Structure 1
Amino acid sequence: MAGAGTAALLAATPATQGLRIALVEPRPATPPAADAPLDLRVSALSRASQQLLERTGAWTAVAARAAPYQRMEVWEERQDPAGPDALVFDAAELGEPDLGHIGENLTIQAALTERAEALGVVLLRADLATLEATRDAVRLGLGDGREFRAGLVVGADGAESAVRRQAGIDTRGRDYGQRALVAHLASERPHGDTARQRFLDTGPLALLPLADGRCSLVWSTLPELAQELTQCPEDEFSVRVTAASGGVLGRLVPTTARASFPLRLMHARRYAAERVALVGDAAHTVHPLAGQGINLALLDAAALVDVLGEALAAGDDPGELAVLRRYERWRKAEALPAIALLDGIQRLYLGGNPLQSRLRRGALGLAQSSGTFKRALMRRALGVAGEVPASVRRAPS
């Protein structure tokens, strides 16, 4: 998504519209049919991400298969979700129509790719084979034998980024020792346009509202438990996921296949090198417990577009390392605290230690009772706090 998002934003932004842009994508996403079932992989889109998608013209297609949510409820395994110590975010507290949307990853990717092409971006359906950067240009070789030169390569090719590897950029991180189990569920009681997250000793369980009335399950848990839950009979899974959710929506029944994927924290030591910039998962991967991966990626793309536009306006070469380092400083200053916070939360909420449990309950209760801090958290979740790109630098509507 970050690659198509960067290309579409560059093409849609007046300051960078004069650039010749190519999107290297071996398997571009295609829009699902209107009546196609929702894909398993979904993301929580912030207000900032919505504004960026609107800017590219992709939002209409995304919104058609997305669900707004007005509330978010977060509670610990030993808490009552309706109790005073549970954390509740409500859009009405900020005078907002919603806190965000739960959007389908496939639709977001397809809509951005479609808009990028419509805005004049050249789509190259091939793998990247080689990358050789110098001070003046980058020589690229594609898997189909084509070669070309570029003034800048944006690596937006995911956690296993070939661009990052060939640019010689190291990473650091750790395995979370968890897998995220995903499925769509029918619930006995309506989801009420509310996103819910329950922290269990083995990891967080999230129920995200979908546009068709179902919920998307994202259950981060131990690998052996994830395997059990993926392979057990549907009736058994229904009983176990209902119990794990605390019965907050009554009986939960799977309506799709179940799948799981490993979770890992990764952060690139540099976001920029000679003629190369990294965005999205190529620069950082985070735990899905707060659904911030796609929002960080789109803000990376928007910040890079801002920096490149400023360089062009000043008559500078947008691919020079000095220019790209401005992007790196900006996004590291925003991304590193978010990554550290999510990593800290993941560590705190994994394990049944009684002291940890008391700390967890106390943290949620403190956040709920502190109006100023709670509103700051909500604004951060909306993506409108901190140093944000020009395309989202306005008060939320």
Structure 2
Amino acid sequence: MQSFDVVIAGGGMVGLALACGLEGSGLRVAVIENYPPKMPFSVSEPYSLRVSAINAASEKLLTHLGVWSAIKSMRASAYNGMEVWDNASFGRISFSAKERNLTHLGHIIENNVVRDALWQKASELRDVTLLSPATIKKVVWGENDVFVTLDDENMLTARLIVGADGANSWLRNHADIPLTFWDYEHTALVATIRTEFPHDGIARQAFNGEGILAFLPLSDPHLCSIVWSQPATEAARRQALDKASFEKELAVALDMSLGLCQLESDRLTIALTGRYARQFAAQRLALLGDAAHTIHPLAGQGVNLGFMDVAMLLGEIKRLHREGKDFGQYLYLRDFERSRKHSAAVMLAGMQGFRELFEGNNPAKKLLRDIGLVLADSLPGVKPQLLNHAMGLLDMPKWLEQLQVEVTN
């Protein structure tokens, strides 16, 4: 039987970030993951269809973890502007890094690039043990320890087990934590697109009555990753369209902003479901990332929310350990839970309200959203606050906010 202080179920971006962050704290950490990444990454590979908009707060955390330069050396695209508009009317808002004297607002990065960099880092750390391929067969919670049995019958003990095993979390289900969930009644169609005009490092989002289309700039000036959120029937129809017809509909849906579009990949569809765990922590258990919450991909904030879960839990575990307290006790995990449940609830409510406002062609609703966009774009003080939210600057725990790190361009 192997003894650890923290066992992390899930070796994705969020679980690995926690493992890397605990290095040097004097705690022994194990990560259990059934699907190790394919190594090494090659820039000759086609772009992955799963990307994230990594904001400034997440960039700061990844820099602190010592993986940002590795991510940049693989493939990452800085975006220096954002444009949001309603195709059917005059409503429009834009954000520029230059307006705030910033070099960029965030980066569009393939999920596998972030994960590969974190995996490589974790594999080099003295206090981190990667158990992979491996799955959890059984977990028993005791008063002072968690007892974990793996599929190969090996057993582990820990003071805290962390569920970072995704939206369909086995650990959350095994712990009988209730889940509130709802169908967004939308499906995301994702693909890689080559555009006639260069994207100029601007992330674009167009609304129409039936859906939301985002063009996220990649490192090639003419390549974008698209996320087209729309009713399931429309997503299925567009996935089945011949290439030329799909490209034509896509260019029109973006109001020809980047000219003609050329499909460069398969078209993948993902049903969109919102999830919110009733508890983010329990005795000797904490949930992070998609295991605790999933939100609409409207603003690309899902993984950023997960990284701030990591930052908050890191700070709490290290503080409690320094003070000689048992960080696996639910009593001590409640501050983490309260803080992250609040942030997730605010984000979920905000995304749902925003989506509902931009859905449909009701004239009163159209007027309201158009006036709202215009006012947000023109009233003093509004845009900076919106941008601070988008960059994650209002969701950082104190230790990360105060941390002095050199964030590279």
Q: Same fold (TM over 0.5)?
A: yes
Distance (whole Å) between structure 2 residues aligned to residue 38 and residue 389 of structure 1: 35
User: Bigger CA drift: 177-186 or 91-100?
Assistant: 91-100
User: For 1:1-397, what aligned pairs fall within 5 Å after superposition?
Assistant: 1-11=13-23, 14=24, 17-30=25-38, 31-64=40-73, 65-79=75-89, 85-120=91-126, 121-125=128-132, 126-213=134-221, 214-393=223-402
SS of the residue corresponding to residue 28 of structure 1 reads coil
Any stretches of 5+ residues in structure 2 without a counterpart? Answer: 1-12
Deviations 1:32-63 (A, max 9, x none): 21321211111000011111111112112222
State the Cα distance separating 1:335 from its structure 2 match: 2.2
Structure 1 position 395, deviation (Å): 8.6
CA contact (8 A) 1:308 1:323 kept: no
| Cα distance between partner residues in 1 of 2:113 and 2:366 | 39
Q: How far did 1:387 drift?
A: 5.0
Write the letter of the residue equivalent to 1:68.
A
Inter-partner Cα distance in structure 2 for 1:389 and 1:202: 40
The amino acid across from 2:303 in the alignment is I
Provide the rounded CA distance (Å) in 2 between the counterparts of 1:395 and 1:230. Answer: 46
Q: What SS class does the counterpart of residue 177 from structure 2 fall into?
A: coil
Question: Once the 2 structures are TM-superposed, how far is the Cα of residue 70 of structure 1 from its aligned partner?
Answer: 0.5
- Contact 1:135/1:320 (8 A) holds in 2: no
SS, match of residue 381 in structure 2: helix
Cα displacement string for residues 72-116 of structure 1 (whole angstroms, at most 9, x for unaligned residues): 000012135xxxx41101112222111000001011111111111
- Matched to 1:370, the amino acid is L
Offset, 1:27: 0.3
State the identity %. Answer: 38
Aligned partners of 2:54 and 2:108 also within 8 Å: yes
Residues 22, 122 of structure 1: 8 Å contact kept: yes
Shift of 1:5: 1.3
Once residues 249 and 285 of structure 2 are traced to their aligned partners in structure 1, the CA distance between those partners, rounded to angstroms, is 47
Once residues 402 and 355 of structure 2 are traced to their aligned partners in structure 1, the CA distance between those partners, rounded to angstroms, is 30
Tell me by how many angstroms 1:389 deviates.
4.4
Q: Over residues 296-334 of structure 1, what are the superposed CA-to-partner deviations in whole Å (9 max), with x where a residue is unaligned?
A: 000100100000111011110111111111110121222
- Code of the aligned partner of 1:22: A
Find runs of 4+ consecutive structure 1 residues off by over 6 angstroms. Answer: none
Equivalent position amino acid for 1:37 in 2:
P
Aligned AA for 1:359?
Answer: L
Amino acid paired to 1:123: L
SS in 2 for 1:57: coil
Deviations 1:363-389 (A, max 9, x none): 211211123121011111111124524
Gap runs ≥5 in structure 1 = none
Cα distance in 2 for residues equivalent to 1:354 and 1:132: 56
- Taking the aligned partners of 2:304 and 2:398, their CA distance within structure 1 comes to 13
Three-state SS of the structure 2 residue aligned to 1:384 is coil
TM-score normalised per structure 2:
0.92
- Are the aligned partners of 1:52 and 1:392 in contact in 2 as well (CA < 8 Å)? no
- Are 2:191 and 2:263, in contact at CA under 8 Å, matched by a contact in 1? yes
TM value normalised by structure 1: 0.95
* Aligned residues of 1:62 and 1:104 also touching (Cα < 8 A): no
- Contact 1:71-1:90 at 8 Å conserved across structures: yes
Distance 2:84 2:125 in 1: 41
Distance 2:387 2:125 in 1: 34
